[in-house]
Amino acid sequence: MRKNLFAILVAAGALVFALSLAGCSSTEGGSTSSSAATSTDGDGVVFAYNTEPQTNLIPSMVNEVGGGNILELIFEGLTRYDVDGTTQLAIAESITTADDGKTWNVKIKEGKKFSDGSPLTVQSFVDAWNWGANPENGALSGEFFMAIEGYPEVDDEGNLVGEFDGLTGLEVVSDTEFNITLAESDPEFDKQLGYSAFYPLPTGSLDSEDALEAQGTQPVSNGPYMLKSWDHNVQVELVPNPEYDGDIPAQNDGVTFMMYTDDSAAYNDLLAGNLDVLDSIPADAMSTFMDDLGDRAVNQDGAVWQAFTIPYYLEHFADDEEGRLRRQAISMAFDRQQICDTIFQGTRTPATDFVAAVIPGHSDSIEGNEVLQYNPEKAKELWAQANAISDWGNATFKLAYNADASAHKEWVEAVVNQIGQTLEISAEPEAYAQFSELRNDATNGTMTSALRSGWQADYPSAYNFMGPLYRANAGANDSRYDNPEFESVLLEARSQQDEAARTEGYNKAQAILMEDLPAIPLWGQNALGGYSEHVDNVVVNWKTVPAYQDIVKK
């Protein structure tokens, strides 16, 4: 009996092996190559890198690039952004304000349709926005609707005060016209309207859980493309939307987003010709990708700006003379240019201000920006002055980063090494295992060290790089900066109708930041990427995302 058992088990093992071989060869029969880009039925389809969306594809639910990349191709808002970030009217016929941005009148073009042929009216916008603004729906991009009058109030614990019955600031005039009243005047509000949270949704798609689920996984949409299939964690197929009659029609037969968890794998697929477009370069290929790809490499100014923040509640860094001296000393104690050149192989550009390079309002001549230059003597001098106020002693300067995301470790090490060596103090990196853990300490104000921070524009405006970060009550004000003078200069600037006057005002606000350094600007992240020999006309837009609809297949 025992002999039999042994034989059976061996046979079972052999069977499993045989089956796995057979299973493989049978599936292999059809298409022999994994190379999607070279398969014959995919002529004219562009294969592009993406990451699996973290949420369903309801516009106000999405707050990350994986879903955002798809939304931006399948939807179109009242306005849209050109490649260079200029705002253009899209669904809207006109967007006007009569009172410096407190109330807005929007008229939309007639005859616009969704991909299923149903008509697009102003109700499509109003319903979608009201849904996103209702906190009970848990829309992750819901904060964009806070600008509109009637955003629900909450008590200290976050519970709703009363019932939420739609934003009172939205008033439908006709099928093609509505008015928006804002909570606070914002002459730049029209610029925000191209952001994905403000996209319209077809009638009925929000009425029930099932309808919502269907819209979220098989969206009915109004952009240049529509979603054909979504194979989770593998790929999303987009095909041109026949109902689309806007200004940026698809120049190819479709875009298939291939899902990756590791951009290094995607890079190797690009080199092997299995992938057409990659809008990211893995850390291990930073030094070689320009040579590997030649003129198919992309390396230009980007929309991501990086910094680190020293909270005002840390000892020695309070909102006083000592804190200011120490922030300035630290900012001058490391060499941004050298770190960009060696650690990032020239794929980042040293910051000259608080705004990303491609955003209107970015400037390299802000008053006082020499504080961003490497100047070890000056740094030592300022540090000594601060020590005269209150001695630093044997304390350690720590800079926190989250280890779960791409390669922060290297630059953090380089920055603290230089700070420590210049100021002759002990300086160390502080690793957090999870991003959520770091955010927890940052939002609760319980950091015990400086922390890395970064910001990417949602819409192309300098205000977007300052308001949400340094206004006293802003959600992302990690340093707990509170400067009424700065705030009034910033709001004054935003209320300017004239573009030049507005920029000048923003520059003044930046000059205040340059002296206080509530965040210490590091560098801008270049838009990096590459494309295969099978495609042409790959242009990267202001958001550092390729304009997929313009790509042509060779």
Partner 1 sequence: MKRYVGRRLLQLIPVFFGATFLIYAMVYALPGDPIAALGGDKGLPPAVRLAIEKEYHLDQPLIVQYLYYLKGIFTFDFGVTFSGRPVVEVMADAFPWTLKLALMAIVFESVFGIAFGVFAGLRRGGVFDSTVLVLSLLLIAVPVFVIGFLLQFIIGVKLGWLPVTVDRSMSFKSMLMPAIVLGAVSFAYILRLTRTEVARNATADYVRTATAKGLSRPQVVTRHILRNSLIPVITFIGADLGALMGGAIVTEGIFNIPGVGGTMYKAIFQGEAATVVSFTTILVLVYIFTSLIVDLLYAALDPRIRYE
Partner 2 sequence: MSETQVYPGQEHTFSDIDETGLGAVDAVPDDRPPASLLGEAWRQLRRRPIFWISAALILFSVLIALFPWLFTSVDPRYAELSHSLGLPEPGHPFGFDKQGRDIYARTIYGARASVAVGVLTMLISVTIGTIVGSIAGFRGGWADSLLSRVTDVFFAIPFVLAAIVIMQIFKESRSIWTVVVVISLFGWPQIARICRSAVMEAKQEEYVTAARALGSGGLSNMLRHILPNAAAPIIVYATVALGSYIVTEATLSFLGIGLPPTIVSWGADISSARSVLREAPQVLFYPAGALALTVLGFIMMGDVVRDALDPKARK
Q: Report the interface residues with partner 2, using CB under 8 A.
A: 283-288, 335, 338-339, 342-343, 402-404, 407, 409-410, 413-414, 417-418, 421, 428-434
Residue with Cβ nearer partner 2 (57 or 340): 340
β-sheet bridge partners, residue 45: 254
Footprint of partner 1 on 233-252 (CB under 8 A)? 233-235
Structure-token pair, residue 110: 């007639």
Footprint of partner 1 on 57-116 (CB under 8 A)? 63-64
Q: Is 157 in the site for partner 1 (CB under 8 A)?
A: yes
Residue with Cβ nearer partner 2 (175 or 292): 292
Alpha-carbon distances of 446 from 365, 439, 450, rounded to whole Å? 35, 10, 11
Q: Is 440 in the site for partner 1 (CB under 8 A)?
A: yes
Footprint of partner 1 on 501-520 (CB under 8 A)? none
Residue with Cβ nearer partner 1 (216 or 346): 216
Residue with Cβ nearer partner 2 (368 or 376): 376
Question: What is the b/e burial string over 509-524, where b = at least 16 CB atoms within 10 angstroms of the residue's CB?
Answer: bbbbbbebbbbbbbbb
Structure-token pair, residue 518: 């509530």
Q: In this structure, are residues 403 and 431 in contact, taking their beta carbons and an 8 Å threshold?
A: yes
Nearest CA to 143 out of 61, 54, 55, 53 is that of 61
Alpha-carbon distances of 468 from 3, 153, 180, 528, rounded to whole Å? 74, 19, 22, 26
Q: How far is the CB of 287 from partner 2 (least distance, A)?
A: 5
Q: How far is the CB of 507 from partner 1 (least distance, A)?
A: 24
Which of partner 2, partner 1, none sits in contact with 409, Cβ below 5 to 8 A by type? partner 2
Q: In this structure, are residues 212 and 206 in contact, taking their beta carbons and an 8 Å threshold?
A: yes
Residue with Cβ nearer partner 2 (130 or 525): 525
Residue type, 365: S
Q: How far is the CB of 44 from partner 2 (least distance, A)?
A: 33
Which of partner 1, partner 2, none sits in contact with 335, Cβ below 5 to 8 A by type? partner 2
What is the rounded CA–CA span in Å between residue 307 and residue 294? Answer: 31
Q: In this structure, are residues 203 and 124 in contact, taking their beta carbons and an 8 Å threshold?
A: yes
Out of 41, 136, 210, 377, the residue judged to bind partner 1 by CB under 8 A: 136
Q: How far is the CB of 164 from partner 1 (least distance, A)?
A: 9
Which of partner 1, partner 2, none sits in contact with 262, Cβ below 5 to 8 A by type? partner 1
Q: Is 24 in the site for partner 1 (CB under 8 A)?
A: yes
Nearest CA to 190 out of 94, 73, 64, 304 is that of 94
Which of partner 2, partner 1, none sits in contact with 431, Cβ below 5 to 8 A by type? partner 2
Residue with Cβ nearer partner 1 (88 or 288): 288
What is the rounded CA–CA span in Å between residue 351 and residue 359? Answer: 13
Which of partner 1, partner 2, none sits in contact with 182, Cβ below 5 to 8 A by type? none
Candidates 15-23, 86-94, 192-200, 391-399 — which segment interacts with partner 1 by CB under 8 A?
Answer: 15-23
Q: How far is the CB of 509 from partner 2 (least distance, A)?
A: 33
Structure-token pair, residue 130: 């009201």
Residue with Cβ nearer partner 1 (18 or 172): 18
Q: How far is the CB of 208 from partner 1 (least distance, A)?
A: 15
Q: Is 11 in the site for partner 1 (CB under 8 A)?
A: no
Rg (CA), the chain: 26
Nearest CA to 313 out of 420, 485, 451, 436 is that of 451
Which of partner 1, partner 2, none sits in contact with 370, Cβ below 5 to 8 A by type? none
Q: Is 137 in the site for partner 1 (CB under 8 A)?
A: yes
Q: How far is the CB of 403 from partner 2 (least distance, A)?
A: 3
Nearest CA to 221 out of 112, 96, 116, 361 is that of 116
Footprint of partner 1 on 310-329 (CB under 8 A)? none
What is the rounded CA–CA span in Å between residue 546 and residue 252? Answer: 14
Total residues at the site for partner 1 (CB under 8 A)?
A: 77
| Cβ atoms within 10 Å, residue 386 | 22
Footprint of partner 1 on 474-493 (CB under 8 A)? 475-476
Q: Is 536 in the site for partner 1 (CB under 8 A)?
A: no
21, with CB counted inside 10 A (0-12, 13-18, 19+), is exposed
Candidates 116-124, 140-148, 375-383, 415-423 — which segment interacts with partner 1 by CB under 8 A?
Answer: 140-148
Footprint of partner 1 on 415-434 (CB under 8 A)? 433-434
Q: In this structure, are residues 69 and 260 in contact, taking their beta carbons and an 8 Å threshold?
A: no
What is the rounded CA–CA span in Å between residue 148 and residue 10? Answer: 70
Residue with Cβ nearer partner 1 (204 or 273): 273
Footprint of partner 1 on 274-303 (CB under 8 A)? 274, 284
Residue with Cβ nearer partner 1 (5 or 500): 5
Residue spans of alpha helices (H) in 333-483: 336-342, 376-389, 409-423, 435-444, 467-470
Residue with Cβ nearer partner 2 (96 or 421): 421
Q: How far is the CB of 410 from partner 2 (least distance, A)?
A: 7
Which of partner 2, partner 1, none sits in contact with 39, Cβ below 5 to 8 A by type? none
Long-range contacts of 336-343 (CB under 8 A, 24+ apart): 336/372, 336/374, 336/522, 336/523, 337/374, 338/374, 339/411, 339/414, 339/415, 339/418, 339/523, 340/523, 342/414, 343/410, 343/411, 343/414
